Structure 1
Amino acid sequence: MGVMTGLMTLLFGGGRNALRETVEVFRENAEKGAQRGHALQSAALAQMAAEFAAPQRGGFDRFMDGVNRVPRPALVFGILAMFVAAMADPVWFAARMAGLSLVPEPLWWLLGIVVSFYFGARHQMKGQEFQRSIAETYSRVPGVLGHVSALAAMEEPPPSAPATDNPALLDWQREGH
């Protein structure tokens, strides 16, 4: 009996599990691997959320955002006004277009570059804001999953009463008690 006890203590006792430790040399512990993966993913999401965090904006920044919103509607309304002017007073419109035909081609290229840079920069800024919002959303995922788990635990029905073969209890339950 002492040999078996010593062998079992060697393999499983003394606060250690030699068999598990030996297996873990050749195969990763899945639970600990999942914990490390979760910690790594949480750290990456936290870093991404911190990188894209929106700074506090002052009055000047909000004013400039308003000014930056003016060119696109102004271009659209200007083009629509040109159509209205062409229909309302074709001679006046033709005189204005004749004046535009005298603008040298390099100035048209310069206008195209300025407009392209403006809308390209705006597109890039909106893309970065979108990435920031995605990072912020992903950073909230662990908390939401925790809330969903807690709600799911509340939904689980209580364990049912064990079945009984007591005829008197069955009659009493049939009577509606």
Structure 2
Amino acid sequence: MGLIDGAMNLVFGGGRNIVRETAGVFMENAEQRAVREAMLQSSALEQFSSEFALPKKGFFDRFIDGINRVPRPALALGTIGLFVSAMVDPTWFAARMNGLALVPEPLWWLMGAIVSFYFGARHQVKSQEFQRSVATTIASTGAVVQNLETLDSLEAGSRSQGDPNPALDAWRRDGQ
């Protein structure tokens, strides 16, 4: 008994497991790999969230955002209103259009520049929001790939085991 106890103590004694430690040199520990992958994914998501985080908006910012939403619908509805007014009262419409004909050309250029800058800035903001959403989607790709691999392995396992259900086997044969 003393010899067996001594051998077991040598292999497993002192809170150590020489077999596991030796195998750990040649094979990767799956549990530790999962922990490392989770930490990597978590740190990548944390970096993305800090990079693309939006600051919390106060009342003034929300108010200005609301005002910024007015010009596009106002321009669209105003243009439709011009068409309606031309049909309802052509004389009134003609008087207004003659008034617009008197506006000097530099003022039209200024108006065009203002509208172009407004819509250009809006386009840039929307483009940045789109890039932010793409980065979020890319950040979740690793989890999706891992889920697909898990599902594929489960499906392969169920195919290799076969179905113990003879009715299901018959149904599959008849369908093909």
TM-score relative to the length of structure 2: 0.60
Cα-to-partner distance string for 1:19-73 (whole Å, 9 max, x where unaligned): xxxxxxxxxxxxxxxxxxx9xxx78887556433333333433332221111001
Equivalent residues of 1:45, 1:138 under 8 A apart: no
- Give structure 2 stretches of 5+ with no counterpart: 1-21, 23-36, 163-176
- The answer to whether residue 73 in structure 2 is matched with residue 56 in structure 1 is no
Equivalent residues of 2:86, 2:93 under 8 A apart: yes
Residue aligning to 2:122:
122
Residue aligning to 2:165:
none
Amino acid at match of 1:114: I
Structure 2 counterpart SS, 1:156: helix
Residues 3-152 of structure 1: pairs in structure 2 closer than 5 A: 47=47, 50-152=50-152
Equivalent residues of 1:52, 1:131 under 8 A apart: no
- Taking only aligned residues, the RMSD between alpha carbons, in angstroms, comes to 2.8
- Give structure 1 stretches of 5+ with no counterpart: 1-14, 16-37, 162-177
Larger helix proportion of the pair: 2
Equivalent residues of 2:48, 2:135 under 8 A apart: yes
Matched residue count? 123
Cα-to-partner distance string for 1:54-104 (whole Å, 9 max, x where unaligned): 333334333322211110010011011011111110110111111111111
TM-superposed CA distance for 1:146, in Å, is 1.8
Evaluate the alpha carbon distance shift between residue 156 and residue 109 of structure 1 in structure 2; reply closer, same or farther with a 3 A threshold. Answer: same
Identity %: 57
